[in-house]
Amino acid sequence: MPLNAYRKPMAPVNPAKALVVGFLVVIALGTGLLLLPASTVGQGGASPSTALFTATSAVCVTGLIVEDTGTYWSTLGQIIILLLIQVGGLGIMTMSTGVALILGRRVTLRSRLMIREAMGELSLQGMVRLVKYVLAIALSFQAMGFILLTARWSLDYPAGRAAFLGLFHSISAFNNAGFDLFGTSLEGFVSDPFVNGVVLGLLITGGLGFTVVSEIYRRRVNGARGPFSLHARAVLWTSGLLLVGGAVFLFFSEMGNPATTGGLGPVGRILSALFTSATPRTAGFNTLPTGSLRTASLFFIIFLMFVGGSPGSTAGGVKTTTFFSLIATVWSTIRGRNDVQVFGRRLSIQTQKHSLAIIVVSAGLVFLGTMGLLVFEGFPISESLFEATSAFGTVGLSTGITSSLGTVGRTIITFMMYVGRVGPLTLTLALGRKPTDRQMFRYPEEEVMIG
């Protein structure tokens, strides 16, 4: 009998649970590092609640802060935050797989399953190749952003400081984290086309999803033939419409507002509208003071934050493809079609059900988070809804109430950031029973009056 006949079989893999636990471990490690006295400026170090909140915000690439990143945290603390952003943005499995590939180790089936879960892919095929694409894309764009931003800020700061600012904001922008070292985000560069262009390029690329970016590269650079996949077309069309439509709406909504765009020239108004439309999806930087935006603008930004970026990206939210699927389903229902048809393809029933489940669960979580802030913190409903949606969408924009949160409020926002990063459906699958399609019988069908 062979020696391996008595080998214990490998335990069933639950990728969702591994992903949920993995983020908790990284957050706990980051909290411990930020608690070190050397991580803060001055004596005493950070409080546990501040360290936990900041570590969660960094790992979940949100950007909400209770203490100013540039003045409260030391250089060591800022480097720790930067590392947490990189790990959280690219994904725990992507980073660990990259290390394994560098060391020449084999990527196991268990790791491939967890990569598929983390990246939102449908197939196990090409997982290692996808990780290589992710790392190549991320490091290339971050390196370009670092060089460009360093060159720009070297005009205003010493070389060493300019380099650190370029590195920090390049990584933060590409990972859609929204952490900054200026204290007022990028408000000082509202009319600077260069800074706006570089940061927009980084955050849009990071929010499109690595699958889409790699598909664009293969087709536009390598000359691959054939149409884009349905996923890529859904991402590009939805992202483009939200970006342009949002910019047009915000341009006219803030026109004449003396606290935002009233004192800007034509270039500044266009740049600020475009940037303010892009950043809720879900970068977290701002060139206009968020708390001074008009109510209509804030309400529209809440919608953009809820939608968020695209699957397999560094962004949060319910994702552009989820929103795309829901709109396509509604449109097909209105037109009386049995099948949901888009771009010459038919969406599966499973995709439609998952989209509806994600939208409903996400809306429920935002509602509960908002209610929690209303009950325990007493902020106005508009500010509470904005803060809860920003946390869930891992955006990082705030009307200014984050630093005023009490212990309960910080706990609520911390939980919302965590759920928003791992995904509500992933968390449900991790905590619930293993899904199964096996049914021994079906109940009789009966109609329910709706509408």
pLDDT higher than 90, residue 212: no
| 3-class secondary structure, 309 | coil
Residue appearing with tokens 């600020």: 272
pLDDT band at 115 (very low <50, low <70, confident <90, very high): low
**Percentage of the chain lying above the pLDDT 90 cut:** 56
Average pLDDT over the chain, rounded to whole? Answer: 85
Query: Would you give the DSSP letter of residue 283?
Result: T
Q: Which helix (H) or strand (E) holds 80?
A: helix 75-90
The more confident residue out of 213 and 179 is: 179
Phi, psi (rounded to 5 degrees) for 70: -75, -25
**Residue by residue, what is the 3-state secondary structure of 90-126?**
HCHHHHHHHHHHHCCCCCCHHHHHHHHHHHCCCCCCC
Q: Is 147 exposed, middle or buried (0-12, 13-18, 19+ CB in 10 A)?
A: middle
Dihedral-angle region of residue 310 (phi above 0 means left; psi in -120 to 50 means alpha; beta otherwise)? beta
Domain residue spans of the chain: 12-427
The more confident residue out of 118 and 407 is: 407
Phi, psi (rounded to 5 degrees) for 87: -65, -45
The per-residue pLDDT for 13 is 52
Mean pLDDT of 143-157: 96
The per-residue pLDDT for 217 is 78
Mean pLDDT of 381-387: 95
The Cα-based distances of 241 to 10, 236, 253 in angstroms read 46, 8, 18
Q: State the sign of the Cα–Cα–Cα–Cα dihedral 207, 210, 216, 222.
A: positive
The C-alpha atoms of residue 253 and residue 273 are separated, in whole angstroms, by: 9
